[in-house]
Structure 1
Amino acid sequence: MSKERARRRAEREAERARQAALRAEREAKLARRRALVGRVTALLPRRPVRIVTQGGIIARRRRAQNGAVALLFAVTQVIVWLLWSSWMARFGAFVLSLLFVPLFVTLVFDRRS
């Protein structure tokens, strides 16, 4: 009876040793993989920091207003480009548009008055 128990104990210990060897091999493989990934990612450029935009109603309104101004500016430039073939006229319209955009924004979107 004691020989049988000794044999089973030896089998259990052998199985534990085999499991420990497998676990050590997996951990070593994982450590090698992590080291390789670390070396590769060190070579890659870092991602820029993401800028979080405000989500309030005032921020959304401001973004909508800026989008409307940019769209109006682009539409104006396309119309001028299509109507006039003179480069001086196109350039003059561009400069005037740049000068009138702040005036337009102040007159239309200013809420202080």
Structure 2
Amino acid sequence: MSKERARRRAEREAERERLAAARAAREAKAARRREVRDRLVGPVAGAVAAVLPRRPVRVARQRGYLARRRRTENGVVAVLWFLVQVLAWILLDSWTARLGVFLGSILLLPVLVTIVFDRRS
């Protein structure tokens, strides 16, 4: 019986040592990362460190039919708005008229987008 207990104790101690070694390796790796980060951006105060991201965040573009359709619609709207501005610049000589077209197009753009691209119908 005592041999079995000794064997189990040895297994527990070996597991404990393995976990301690893994923890020490993780802490050493984190310390190296902190050291590299501090060399690159300088030491960071405690309150600000929580705000900084741990790693760069990659923003993925949404995929699928609806996302593609929305991107197409937004592109069409942007191109048409830009063309209206260019035509106003070319055809109108008055700065007040150009400003009026600019402000009018900004104010009417959401209304026209809602009417033309309404998804409820």
Per the TM superposition, whether the score is higher than 0.5 is: yes
- Alpha-carbon separation, structure 1, partners of 2:69 and 2:104: 26
Q: Give 1:61's aligned residue.
A: 69
Give the unaligned 5+ runs of structure 2. 1-31, 43-52
Deviation at 1:49, TM superposition (A): 2.2
Q: Give 1:95's aligned residue.
A: 103
- Alpha-carbon separation, structure 2, partners of 1:48 and 1:83: 47
- Alpha-carbon separation, structure 2, partners of 1:54 and 1:107: 24
Q: Give 2:118's aligned residue.
A: 110
Deviation at 1:99, TM superposition (A): 1.4
Deviation at 1:50, TM superposition (A): 2.3
- Alpha-carbon separation, structure 1, partners of 2:94 and 2:100: 10
Matches within 5 A, 1:9-88: 38=36, 40-43=39-42, 49-88=57-96
- Alpha-carbon separation, structure 1, partners of 2:41 and 2:106: 44
C-alpha RMSD of matched pairs (Å): 2.5
Q: CA 1:100–1:48 in structure 2 vs 1: closer, same or farther (change >3 Å)? A: farther
| Superposition TM-score, scaled by structure 2 size | 0.55
- Alpha-carbon separation, structure 2, partners of 1:48 and 1:86: 48
Q: Highest relative contact order (Cα 8 Å, sep 6+), 1 or 2? A: 1
| Superposition TM-score, scaled by structure 1 size | 0.59
- Alpha-carbon separation, structure 2, partners of 1:96 and 1:56: 34
- Considering fraction of residues, name the structure with more helix: 1
Query: Higher Cα Rg: structure 1 or 2?
Result: 1
- Alpha-carbon separation, structure 1, partners of 2:112 and 2:90: 23
| Identical positions, percent | 49
Deviation at 1:42, TM superposition (A): 4.3
- Alpha-carbon separation, structure 2, partners of 1:82 and 1:48: 44
Deviation at 1:100, TM superposition (A): 1.3
